[in-house]
């Protein structure tokens, strides 16, 4: 049994795939299996995978399916995972040579259900941001190697993002809890990762940049999200809410869950453009009733943005926030949360 299973969906990744696979082949840690699911690629991705197998003695376990999306491909590939632990990676990112070695060492020290490292962001093959993926200000101040939701009930869903690229999971933990990726066009890893964080008994942190996220891939969902009406986030969080807040004693996680809910919705809004932005604003207004109107549980700026969306015509919100507020914040150091608060208070919109 290998110590790590790497599961990777592949869809039309010919521009970056060779670099990605090569970075895995060059890992200092060798006791792992690479499972690639060719998700109906129409370019030369499958040929690249086959060529690597010829070159490196069947280094990759290759499976092919009709195009169903990254979530379905990840679930399909995970069926064949034999490793003690599992990492879900993307076919356009690349990884430092000690990535798997460091992640497994941390797991072996703690036997944590989830190990989380930091990552960098690259564009045009240049690192533009370092040390992403963990907000250390939200971590518990405890003298032990791992933690869980009870150590940081207000921040369990907020201290890290929902991406899986920088996380190693105990395979038994995922299988036992039947945690699966959603089969949706955008954000298929949101449900998977937030539910995993909630269910984990042990989470541990690795303060090292070990992954390079490629923000330039035109085929990625995040790159194309400006063209997607991302209503899936609303449905995903409604499903999570039913699971996480089902028991009365779980209300201690309400603050963390709703702040992540709201942050995700607003991130999706910021990625939309043109007519799609207007449509998404209408979705936010439609789903506004499902979001508790409890000012004290939210990050102020996000809460007042939401209230502004509720009371203003779409065109006016776009003009105000994306033009005027941006200008005031950048050049006059105005704090948007206070600005929104004063306007919302005057409209009695709480």
Q: What is the band of 326 on the pLDDT scale with cuts at 50, 70, 90?
A: low
Diameter of the chain by CA atoms? 69
Helix, strand, coil percentages (3-state) for the chain, rounded to 5, are: 50, 20, 35
Q: What is the mean pLDDT of residues 161-177?
A: 96
Query: In this predicted model, what pLDDT tens digit does every residue of 186-196 receive, in sequence order?
Result: 788 999 999 99
Structure confidence at residue 226 (pLDDT): 46
Instruction: Please say if the pLDDT value at position 54 is more than 60.
Output: yes
Provide the 8-state DSSP code for 208.
E
Tokens matching residue 173: 């933990």
**What domains lie within the chain, and their CATH numbers?**
4-224 (3.90.550.10), 229-346 (no CATH)
Render 322-340 in DSSP notation, one character per residue.
IIIIHHHHHHH---HHHHH
Highest mean pLDDT among 76-85, 180-189, 280-289, 305-314: 76-85
Q: How confident is the prediction for the chain on average, in pLDDT?
A: 87
CA torsion, ordered 314, 318, 319, 323, to nearest 10 deg: 170
Lowest mean pLDDT across 229-238, 305-314, 328-337 = 328-337
* Alpha helix ranges (H) inside the chain: 17-25, 45-55, 70-78, 99-110, 171-176, 188-199, 221-224, 232-244, 254-271, 274-287, 300-311, 314-319, 326-332, 336-346
Are the C-beta atoms of 192 and 164 separated by less than 8 Å?
yes
Structure confidence at residue 319 (pLDDT): 83
Q: What is the mean pLDDT of residues 126-143?
A: 87
Instruction: Please say if the pLDDT value at position 124 is more than 50.
Output: yes
């Amino acid at each position: 049994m290998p110590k790590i299973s790497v599961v990777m969906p592949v869809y039309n990744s010919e521009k970056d795939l060779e670099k990605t696979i090569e970075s895995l082949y060059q890992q200092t840690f060798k006791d792992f299996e690479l499972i690639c699911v060719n998700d109906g690629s129409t370019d030369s991705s499958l040929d690249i995978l086959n060529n690597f197998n010829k070159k490196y003695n069947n280094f990759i376990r290759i499976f092919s399916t009709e195009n169903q999306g990254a979530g379905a491909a990840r679930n399909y590939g995970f069926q064949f995972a034999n490793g003690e632990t599992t990492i879900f990676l993307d076919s356009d990112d690349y990884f430092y040579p000690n990535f798997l070695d460091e992640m497994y060492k941390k797991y072996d020290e703690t036997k944590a259900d989830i190990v989380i490292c930091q990552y960098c962001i690259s564009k045009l093959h240049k690192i533009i941001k370092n040390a992403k993926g963990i907000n250390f200000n939200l971590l518990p101040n405890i003298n032990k190697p791992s933690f869980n939701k009870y150590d940081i009930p207000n921040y369990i869903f907020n201290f890290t993002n929902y991406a899986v690229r920088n996380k190693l999971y105990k395979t038994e933990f995922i299988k036992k809890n039947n945690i699966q990726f959603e089969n949706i066009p955008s954000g298929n890893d949101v449900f998977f990762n937030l539910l995993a964080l909630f269910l984990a008994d042990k989470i541990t942190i690795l303060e090292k940049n070990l992954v390079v996220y490629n923000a330039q891939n035109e085929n990625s969902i995040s790159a194309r999200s400006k063209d997607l009406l991302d209503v899936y986030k609303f449905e995903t969080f409604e499903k999570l809410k039913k699971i996480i807040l089902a028991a009365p004693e779980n209300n201690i996680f309400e603050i963390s869950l709703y702040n992540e809910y709201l942050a995700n919705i607003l991130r999706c809004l910021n990625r939309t453009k043109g007519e799609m932005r207007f449509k998404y604003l209408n979705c936010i207004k439609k789903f506004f009733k499902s979001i508790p109107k409890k000012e004290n549980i939210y990050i102020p700026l996000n809460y007042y943005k939401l209230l502004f969306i509720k009371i203003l015509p779409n065109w006016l919100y776009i003009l105000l926030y994306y033009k005027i507020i941006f200008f005031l914040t950048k050049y006059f150091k105005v704090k948007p949360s206070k600005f929104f608060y004063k306007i919302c208070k005057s409209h009695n919109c709480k």
